[in-house]
Chain A
Amino acid sequence: MHNDKFISKSEIGIFIFALVLPFIFDFSPYIQGLLIFVMLWVVLGTSWNLLAGYTGQVSFGHAAFFGIGAYAAGVPFFLFKVSPWWGLLFGGITAVILGYLLGIVVFRLRGPYFALGTLAAAEILRIAFGQEEWLTNGHNGILYITTWVSKYPYYFIILAIAAGTILTVKVVMRRREGYYFLSIREDEDAASAIGINASKYKNISMGLSSFWAGMAGAFYFIYMGFIDPETVFALHNISIISILVGIIGGVGTIWGPAIGAIIMVLLQETFRSAFFGFAPQWVSGMHAFVFGLLVIFVILYLPGGVVGDWDLIKKKLHLKRKSEMKK
């Protein structure tokens, strides 16, 4: 891990490609929207991966951070007409505070109990934000006329947030913190015996992870112009998506969640649009089912995800090509 150059040429290449992408092609607003969602899911998946994949604390409640970040942009606007753009400053910080408070409770739990604890936290917030109408406008949600009609500026903002998230992971994983995260993931008792304060470093991991999830949430409000508790604290559309993006791309790999996000958005859109209108309409309800199948397949055959098991995939494809050539 530590012999690689910090940032490789191909990584710079990917970033430049993502940066100039909108200038090369004349994308329809629909495609532009998809690109933004890919980036949004890159942020969520990478943030989840830091806590779950690298530190071994498998969160089922990342919607808590996403949602609180969204409301950090939304509530000041709803109450005082403060520009939601301030959310890009407060969204991450608010999520970190939530993460710290949540950590006091959930880090007492291990394994499945930790997962359930985080899930419960997101659900409690979803219900509470629906109830407290004076603060959040309840289920009516908060509406805001977005700043720009064009999607391009939003694309660059979420690209910057995604780059920030990935860069955070890259930097952290070369430092003491990163080594401590991995040690805690592998064996908490062994970690404490070599001097690692496990609860401190779990909190640090949670802080970094929740920061970027909160930023994604704040961006979501600025971009969509509408939030309600059911959307931003959603178990299936946020918490579970964060997990799926991480698992399919590759848990504990830098680029796994990015690849996972591309696969997932493509798959989701293919099904939602019923294969772009070529398949019967009922297919559009199938995307959750297909995600489920995909996860089962990945866990069984590619436990390292597409990135983690890339060598395995290459070998399989290679063997297949060889056997085809023999025929």
Chain B
Amino acid sequence: MSILSLKNVTKNFGGLTAVNNVSFDVEEGEILGLIGPNGSGKTTIFNLINHFFPVSSGDIIFKGNNITHKKTHEIAMLGIGRTFQVVKPLKRLSVADNIMAAAFSRESTFEGAKRVTREVLEFTHLDHVAHQKAGGLPIAGRKRLEIAKALATRPTLLLLDETAAGLNPAELDEAIDIIRAIRSDLGITIIIVEHIMKVIMNISDRIHAIAYGTTITEGSPAEVAANPTVIEAYLGSDYH
């Protein structure tokens, strides 16, 4: 059964159609890659799913419920977690307190939230920086904190927006391991946006490709990589 369905979703910003009649399903337990050149509308799709912006038209169905008009915090409570491409750490709070704040979404007691925080810190390998201020973390740490905050809300679906961008090779491998473990150990379904082809091709079960806000193809990583339209869309741009 699909856990999330986008049905003919369109988003206009004034005269610009950032997302144009996009439809796709995400199956429970899978990792769906969402790819497309810069400005093709990937982040906007995430912003529509968690209702940072209202859709211009179309519907978003999560676990059988129409969530198109739900508020951002309600969608988080229904079980959709997300990371931000432009990271949003709670800067003046420690890493642990960032996660505590998220953990309180499911835990009403201080002790409960603290237990979840400890688990998440360990899972995301952030325990050694737990007491640093989030604003002072290097980029790899901040990207990981995005994942940690989202995990602390105990999501069933996780939207990862370029959490591997700007990492060095060692950090990249660590990030890939963590993302894999999110699915295998925690059983969380994932939609992942990533420009780094090594990551997206390795990690995704299926890939949905867009350009100029419009779907160009969907299929297995091998199928999508061989698709002429995809190759054309990426040609001449600065991809890895």
* Distance A196 CA – B73 CA, assembled complex (angstroms): 5
Residue of B with least CB distance to A182: B93
Pair B77/A182 contact, Cβ less than 8 Å: no
Interface of B is mostly: mixed
Pair A195/B90 contact, Cβ less than 8 Å: no
Residue of A with least CB distance to B51: A192
List of B residues within 8 angstroms of A1 by Cβ: 94, 97
Pair A195/B153 contact, Cβ less than 8 Å: yes
* Distance A186 CA – B101 CA, assembled complex (angstroms): 11
How distant is A296 from chain B, measured CB to nearest CB, in Å? 22
Does A193 count as interface, using CB distance less than 8 angstroms? yes
Does A12 count as interface, using CB distance less than 8 angstroms? no
Does B68 count as interface, using CB distance less than 8 angstroms? no
Given A190-B84, A194-B105, A194-B150, the answer on whether A179 and B97 have CB atoms closer than 8 Å is yes
Does B115 count as interface, using CB distance less than 8 angstroms? no
* Distance A191 CA – B102 CA, assembled complex (angstroms): 8
* Distance A195 CA – B77 CA, assembled complex (angstroms): 5
The count of chain A contact residues (Cβ–Cβ below 8 Å) is 22
List of B residues within 8 angstroms of A186 by Cβ: 89-93
Binds A, one of B17-25, B106-114, B166-174, B193-201: B106-114
* Distance A193 CA – B158 CA, assembled complex (angstroms): 12
Q: Which of B43-98 contact A (CB under 8 A)?
A: 50, 52, 71-73, 76-77, 81-82, 84, 88-94, 97
State the 9 A-B residue pairs at the shortest beta-carbon distance, nearest first. A195-B105, A190-B88, A195-B76, A186-B90, A194-B102, A192-B72, A176-B104, A179-B101, A183-B101
* Distance A192 CA – B71 CA, assembled complex (angstroms): 9
Give me 7 other A-B pairs in contact (C-beta within 8 A), A2-B97, A190-B90, A252-B92 excluded.
A180-B101, A183-B101, A187-B88, A190-B89, A194-B81, A194-B102, A197-B71
Pair A194/B149 contact, Cβ less than 8 Å: yes
How distant is A243 from chain B, measured CB to nearest CB, in Å? 19
Does B152 count as interface, using CB distance less than 8 angstroms? yes
Interface of A is mostly: helix
* Distance A29 CA – B100 CA, assembled complex (angstroms): 49
* Distance A257 CA – B101 CA, assembled complex (angstroms): 25
How distant is A185 from chain B, measured CB to nearest CB, in Å? 8
* Distance A198 CA – B152 CA, assembled complex (angstroms): 18
Residue of B with least CB distance to A189: B88
Interface size class of B (residues with CB under 8 A): 20 to 34
Does A175 count as interface, using CB distance less than 8 angstroms? yes
How distant is B178 from chain A, measured CB to nearest CB, in Å? 19
How distant is B53 from chain A, measured CB to nearest CB, in Å? 11
List of B residues within 8 angstroms of A315 by Cβ: none
Does A174 count as interface, using CB distance less than 8 angstroms? yes
Residue of B with least CB distance to A177: B104
Pair B101/A182 contact, Cβ less than 8 Å: yes
Q: Which of B94-143 contact A (CB under 8 A)?
A: 94, 97, 100-102, 104-105, 108, 110, 113-114
Residue of B with least CB distance to A181: B101
Pair B52/A174 contact, Cβ less than 8 Å: no
* Distance A1 CA – B96 CA, assembled complex (angstroms): 10
**24 chain-A/chain-B pairs, Cβ below 8 angstroms:** A2-B97, A176-B113, A179-B104, A180-B104, A182-B93, A186-B92, A187-B88, A187-B89, A187-B91, A189-B88, A190-B90, A191-B101, A192-B72, A193-B76, A193-B84, A194-B102, A194-B149, A194-B150, A194-B152, A195-B77, A195-B102, A195-B105, A196-B73, A197-B73
* Distance A2 CA – B94 CA, assembled complex (angstroms): 11
List of A residues within 8 angstroms of B153 by Cβ: 194-195
Given A193-B84, A196-B105, the answer on whether A183 and B77 have CB atoms closer than 8 Å is no
Pair A2/B84 contact, Cβ less than 8 Å: no
Given A179-B104, A180-B104, A186-B92, the answer on whether A193 and B97 have CB atoms closer than 8 Å is no
Pair A179/B73 contact, Cβ less than 8 Å: no
* Distance A197 CA – B76 CA, assembled complex (angstroms): 10
Pair A193/B82 contact, Cβ less than 8 Å: yes
* Distance A252 CA – B94 CA, assembled complex (angstroms): 14
* Distance A292 CA – B156 CA, assembled complex (angstroms): 53
* Distance A179 CA – B98 CA, assembled complex (angstroms): 9
* Distance A112 CA – B44 CA, assembled complex (angstroms): 29
List of A residues within 8 angstroms of B50 by Cβ: 193
List of A residues within 8 angstroms of B150 by Cβ: 193-194
* Distance A174 CA – B105 CA, assembled complex (angstroms): 15
List of B residues within 8 angstroms of A193 by Cβ: 50, 72, 76, 81-82, 84, 88, 150
Q: Which of A155-202 contact B (CB under 8 A)?
A: 174-176, 179-180, 182-183, 186-187, 189-198
List of B residues within 8 angstroms of A198 by Cβ: 73
* Distance A193 CA – B84 CA, assembled complex (angstroms): 9
How distant is B72 from chain A, measured CB to nearest CB, in Å? 4
* Distance A243 CA – B81 CA, assembled complex (angstroms): 37
List of B residues within 8 angstroms of A2 by Cβ: 97, 100, 110, 114
Pair B152/A179 contact, Cβ less than 8 Å: no
List of B residues within 8 angstroms of A187 by Cβ: 88-91
List of B residues within 8 angstroms of A190 by Cβ: 84, 88-90, 149
How distant is B141 from chain A, measured CB to nearest CB, in Å? 16
B110's partner among A174, A183, A196 (CB-CB below 8 A) is A174
Pair B110/A175 contact, Cβ less than 8 Å: yes
